[in-house]
Each structure stands twice: as C-alpha cells, then as structure tokens.
Amino acid sequence: MFTYNPFSDLALLVPAIAMQVFVIAMILLVVASTVLDMVHKKNVIYFFRNAKKAKKSAKKELSTGTKTAVILKTVAHDIATTSELGMGKRRIAHVLGMYGTILFWISSVILIFNYSDGSTAPSYLALMWHVGALMTCLGGYWFWFFLRVDVSAEAHPWYRIITADLFVLALLSCATFGLAWSYTQFSNNIGLSYLFLILYIVSNLILFGGVYWSKFAHMFYKPGAAIQKNLAEADGSRDNLPPPADAPEQFGLGIKREQPKHY
C-alpha cells in the first residue's frame, strides 16, 4: 500500500484537471487569507516599524555577507530544527509534524500534477506521501493528547477545543483521512473509500480555507520574527532590550524540583 498512488485511481472518477484546479484554489485561499490576516493584525506594519527602530539603535552596520550568514544560520538552526523549543519531546513532536507535513504536501502536488493521468508514479513518491502523512499523525497526535500546554500544564481535558486549535485539528484530519482513503481504495472497499475521500476533501477545505481563523499564517510570521531577532542580536540593537547581565544565573534549587513542562 505504501507505494500505491491513490490519485491515479481517483482520476477514473475525477478528471486530473479538476484535482489540479483544486490544489491551485487551496494555494490561492492560503495567499488571500494570509494577506487578510496581515491587514487585520497589522503584522507587516509592526515588523517594518520594529526593523526601522532597530536600525536606528544598531551599534554597527552589518555587511551583506554577514546578514546572509545570519539568515542562513537562522534558517538552518532556529527554523529547520525548531531550536527555540529546546531538547525534549515537544521539539521532537514539532519536527515530526513539520517535516511530515512538508513531505505530505510536496508529494501530493507532484502526484496530482504529474501522475494523476493514469501514468505510473515512481514508488518513492507514493512512499513519501504515506510516510509524510504518518509522520504528521505521529507528531500531531502526540502533541494533541500529551504535550499541549493547556492539557499537560493546566489540566484541561484533551477534547477541549478553541479556535486556535483549528489548524492542528484540520491538519491531522487531512493526514488521517488521506491515509484511510488510500487504504480503503487500495483494498477496493469502494463505499468506505468514497466516504474517506469526501472527509479528506472537506478537511483540506477547512485547513486551507480557515487560515484567517487558525494558526496557519503563524508559519509565515515565525521565520521572519526569528530572522529579525538574530539580525538585531548581530548589529547590537537587540530589539531595544538591555544587554544580558554579567552576573551568573542563580535560580536556587526550586527550579530543579520538577521536570520543566510549563511552556
């Protein structure tokens, strides 16, 4: 099953061009919703004002090479490995979910645009699609049931849902129903495959159409904020914060009394 391309058999029911238009529509929804989110929350205005203020208080001017090095280091360390979460289960869950989602989305686009017309897809692409969905489920369900702050630290029940949970729940639904659809279609269980296909489509509509109300757009802001922060560290402006104290960090024994989990 892991080397099976579900979009190839779907082409017998839905034209390949319809699948491709659906993907393009989802991308346009993300772009439009993100722009609306930026206009509403004025994130871009904040970043530009903050960058302008930091430039005035910079202790030194960074060369293009230095800026490039800082940006590349930020991408490789802070963004690619979510290093701000520190070492631990929370970081592993995020990395699993992040790279699983990337594999899932990229392989979906390639399979739909290149191999949904009946042509045979390379087995590694279908494998990427299934493994990506499994990684997304593993990291996402681990986070949802055991690592969420309001569950692990504030004792709320796991089934308590708020608007901010729309992104992770829709993403998990996409991966879960996608796997279920692939398995039932591969097993020639027509009735269930149609059901899971509909749920898969609906969850995609919620995921990409709900960007304005979810944390989806957060994925675009977070890298920009990390880059700006590290550039401010390099030029000495430090986002107008005072420099770190020379005295050693002394917190006493209280901080060691329990495993840190209050994020």
pLDDT at 247 over 70: no
Distance CA 173, CA 177 (A): 6
113 vs 107, 129, 180, 197, CA distance in Å?
10, 14, 22, 18
Name the helix (H) or strand (E) containing 100.
helix 89-114
- pLDDT bucket at 149, cuts 50 / 70 / 90: low
By the 10 Å C-beta count (0-12 exposed, 13-18 middle, 19+ buried), 105 is classed as middle
pLDDT attached to residue 155? 67
**pLDDT tens readout for residues 161-176:** 888 788 999 999 999 9
pLDDT for 263 equals: 47
- Return the pLDDT at 104: 96
> 83: which residues sit within 8 A by CB, 6+ positions away?
77, 91
Is the pLDDT confidence value at 238 over 90?
A: no
pLDDT digits (tens, 9 = 90+) for 38-84: 777 777 677 777 777 777 777 787 888 888 888 888 888 888 888 77
Pairwise pLDDT comparison (148 vs 66), residue with the higher score = 66
Average pLDDT over residues 2-30: 91
pTM over 0.85: no
Q: What is the mean pLDDT of the chain?
A: 84
pLDDT tens-digit readout, 116-145: 877 788 999 999 999 999 999 999 999 888
183-234 pLDDT tens trace: 999 999 989 999 999 999 999 999 999 888 887 777 777 787 788 888 887 8
pLDDT of residue 80: 84
Q: 44 near 38, Cβ under 8 Å?
A: yes
